[in-house]
């Protein structure tokens, strides 16, 4: 199995992507929030890039919830922000949520060119990796592409650490594995800080922005591993439980 990591969506090489299974990681916070919402019973998530797209979908069906952020804060007239902690069972159970995020949605749309596209986070990494390993072996898939959302089209440390955790999980599962240079680097970085990712992330850009905005509880939440036991897939513009 070949593991390839792209540090943001513009880096994605279509010729590698197209025959691979893809994992999209927007750790802080889009993919973590979507996975948590599904885990709390949301029926589906429709990620959209623009606020007016979200409003259009709400006009078509008043029962959908609108979620997302601009500059880290809730959008006027929206039901929810982008904090996973807002997506409680009593709020999202049985609902369709339309979410507008920038980096995360672009990364999902880009990665949709893969054979299948999954959402990645620390909170359900192990389950997701297990599922992908089984399916990939079964379907004869030779490459797994990890598409980091990045921030403002740049390398982003928290996505890379989570990607490094996936690399570790795949190293444990495949006897014959080839890692590209960024996979090697992500794995080594993850291993250096696996016991306390905050130790390195406290110097990083996006983590600090969220901290300044007061989302300390979100940072704790998004860095906890494997307490969610489901797999989310992005298909036909919609995120659903596999």
Query: What is d(CA 33, CA 26) in angstroms, rounded to the nearest whole number?
Result: 9
Query: What is d(CA 42, CA 89) in angstroms, rounded to the nearest whole number?
Result: 8
In the complex with a second copy, which residue's Cβ is closer, 61 or 176?
A: 176
Q: How far is the CB of 185 from a second copy (least distance, A)?
A: 6
β partners of residue 234: 239
Largest CA distance in the chain: 51
CA distances from 136 to 113, 116, 119, 126, 140 (A): 16, 10, 16, 15, 6
The site for a second copy (CB under 8 A) is made up of 7, 11, 13, 151, 154-157, 160, 179-182, 184-185, 188-189, 192-193, 200, 203-206
Q: How far is the CB of 154 from a second copy (least distance, A)?
A: 7
Q: How far is the CB of 41 from a second copy (least distance, A)?
A: 34
Query: What is d(CA 26, CA 234) in angstroms, rounded to the nearest whole number?
Result: 14
In the complex with a second copy, which residue's Cβ is closer, 8 or 95?
A: 8
Q: How far is the CB of 182 from a second copy (least distance, A)?
A: 4
In the complex with a second copy, which residue's Cβ is closer, 69 or 159?
A: 159
In the complex with a second copy, which residue's Cβ is closer, 131 or 155?
A: 155
């Amino acid at each position: 199995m070949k593991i390839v990591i792209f540090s943001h969506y513009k880096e994605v090489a279509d010729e590698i992507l197209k025959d691979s299974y893809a994992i999209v990681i927007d750790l802080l916070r889009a993919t973590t929030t979507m996975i948590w919402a599904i885990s709390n019973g949301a029926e589906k998530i429709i990620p959209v890039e623009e606020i007016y797209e979200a409003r259009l979908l709400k006009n078509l069906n008043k029962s959908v919830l609108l979620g997302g952020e601009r500059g880290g804060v809730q959008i006027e007239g929206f039901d929810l922000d982008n904090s996973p902690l807002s997506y409680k069972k009593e709020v999202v159970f049985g609902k369709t949520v339309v979410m507008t995020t920038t980096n995360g949605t672009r990364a999902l749309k880009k990665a949709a060119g893969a054979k299948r596209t999954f959402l990645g986070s620390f909170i359900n990494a192990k389950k997701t990796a297990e599922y992908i390993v089984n399916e990939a072996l079964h379907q004869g898939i030779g490459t797994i592409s990890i598409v980091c959302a990045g921030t403002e089209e740049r390398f982003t440390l928290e996505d890379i650490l989570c990607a490094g955790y996936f690399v570790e999980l795949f190293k444990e599962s495949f006897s014959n594995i080839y890692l590209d240079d960024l996979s090697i680097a992500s794995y080594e970085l993850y291993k250096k800080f696996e016991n306390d990712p905050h130790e390195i992330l406290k110097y990083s850009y996006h983590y600090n922005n969220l901290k300044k905005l007061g989302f300390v509880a979100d940072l704790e939440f998004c860095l906890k591993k494997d307490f969610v036991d489901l797999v989310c897939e992005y298909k036909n513009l919609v995120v659903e439980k596999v």
